[in-house]
Amino acid sequence: MEKTIVLALGGNAILQPGQKGTYTEQLENVQKTCTSIAELLDNGYQIVITHGNGPQVGNIATQQIAARDKVPPMPLDICGSQTQGFMGYMIQQSLGNILRERGVNRPVVSLVTQVCVSEDDPAFKRPTKPVGGFVSKEEAEKIMAETGEKWVEDSGRGWRKVVYSPKPLEIVEMPVIKTLIKSGAIVISSGGGGIPVIKKDGKLQGVEAVIDKDRAASLMARQLAADMLVILTDVPRVAINYGKPDQRFLDRLTISEAEKFLKEGHFGEGSMLPKVEAAISFAGTGKEAVIASLDQVKEAIEGSAGTRFQPSKTYSSVS
């Protein structure tokens, strides 16, 4: 029986730091990522894919600001759906091509996915989720003065736009996702955390927000009863005292150990914090979650790389 793994791809799977974000650059990155995913499929894993969209949705927002006098700007949920479309298309096409080259006849499908949130979520009172690229403090202050947006300093890397990030409650298309998986399809869903919607008078309605993709991936993994959640990012493992002289990487954590580090404030709100919270939520089901770098996905699944979050009683290994 295949082991089901929900694979949450970070932004570096599609857009590397320092790149401009051209179609060619992003496609090349996606093709490399899909080669690694195909190797996992060779080993008998059932993979469900989700991905981030921070740089891409940020670029769309920037384009809208530049063209606002010529083309009406679209709300953030529409921008998110656009990224689900073009990013899902690149992953779907690239992975499909690689599988066919390997003689594997297996459908790959990208699903435009809505995720329900609560309109009473306290997150709607305070924007915290960073999107888009980094700018200087001076440029951020200029943008805020012109648009009323909120920009904040992010982990010493520059200033980024922040938006509302409510908690994901329900994946609307989950019955479809399960049907596609049962049919043998490789599914790409909940891209960018899913399109945020609320239920109002029995109808779904989009809202101006971005759902954290790792929290949505954890929800999807729990609802699918997956065997493992793998969150891929641009660092090899989770660290405490990140960026400081006494920085230490963590190999294995129990839920209680991870929660202790959370309370001590070791993880940045716009970076590692939601990843750790997502891993804890999934580990609460009695199965393991892993946070690792994109280039070590196979090793992370097999247990020789990344930070593993375990429900059982054990001790953290720190290096």
pLDDT tens per residue, the chain (319 residues)? 579 999 999 876 788 878 888 999 999 999 999 999 999 998 889 999 999 998 888 888 888 877 878 998 898 999 999 999 999 999 999 999 999 999 999 999 999 999 999 999 999 999 987 777 678 899 889 888 987 888 898 878 888 888 899 999 999 999 999 999 999 999 999 999 999 999 999 999 999 899 999 999 999 999 999 999 999 988 889 989 887 888 899 999 999 999 999 999 898 776 799 999 999 999 999 999 999 998 899 999 999 999 999 886 544 444 3
Same domain for 219 and 299, yes or no, is yes
Same domain for 90 and 211, yes or no, is yes
pTM of the model: 0.88
Same domain for 260 and 195, yes or no, is yes
Note whether residue 315 is domain-resident: no
> Among 10, 80, 88, 129, which one carries the catalytic annotation?
129
At 38, the amino acid letter reads A
Note whether residue 201 is domain-resident: yes
Distance between CA atoms of 175 and 71, rounded to whole angstroms? Answer: 37
Same domain for 222 and 102, yes or no, is yes
- Burial degree of 67 (CB within 10 A; 0-12, 13-18, 19+): exposed
Same domain for 97 and 203, yes or no, is yes
Is 64 in contact with 143 (CB distance < 8 Å)? Answer: no
Same domain for 68 and 45, yes or no, is yes
Distance between CA atoms of 211 and 195, rounded to whole angstroms? Answer: 8
Q: Is 12 a catalytic residue?
A: yes
Note whether residue 73 is domain-resident: yes
Same domain for 67 and 156, yes or no, is no
Is 221 in contact with 282 (CB distance < 8 Å)? Answer: yes
At 318, the amino acid letter reads V
Domain extent, residue 210, equals 3-117+167-310
Same domain for 285 and 191, yes or no, is yes
Residues facing residue 12 across a β-bridge: none
Of 138, 163, 188, the domain-final residue: 163
Note whether residue 302 is domain-resident: yes
Same domain for 19 and 143, yes or no, is no
Residue 254 token pair: 């129990």
What pLDDT does 270 receive?
A: 66
Is 167 in contact with 141 (CB distance < 8 Å)? Answer: no
> Hunting for tokens 């390997």 — which residue is that?
102
> Among 10, 11, 192, 270, which one carries the catalytic annotation?
11
Note whether residue 181 is domain-resident: yes
Domain count, the chain: 2
Note whether residue 14 is domain-resident: yes
> Among 133, 194, 213, 270, which one carries the catalytic annotation?
213
Same domain for 91 and 238, yes or no, is yes
Q: Residue 188: which of 49, 1, 319 has the closest Cα?
A: 49
Same domain for 111 and 174, yes or no, is yes
Assign residue 80 the CATH number of its domain.
3.40.1160.10
What pLDDT does 13 receive?
A: 78
Same domain for 105 and 139, yes or no, is no
Note whether residue 90 is domain-resident: yes
Q: Residue 279: which of 248, 233, 242 has the closest Cα?
A: 233
> Among 10, 12, 58, 194, which one carries the catalytic annotation?
12
Q: Is 142 a catalytic residue?
A: no
Note whether residue 239 is domain-resident: yes
DSSP labels for 151-211? EEE-TTS-EEEEE--PPP-EETTHHHHHHHHHTT-EEE-SGGG-EEEEEETTEEEE-S---
Q: Is 286 a catalytic residue?
A: no
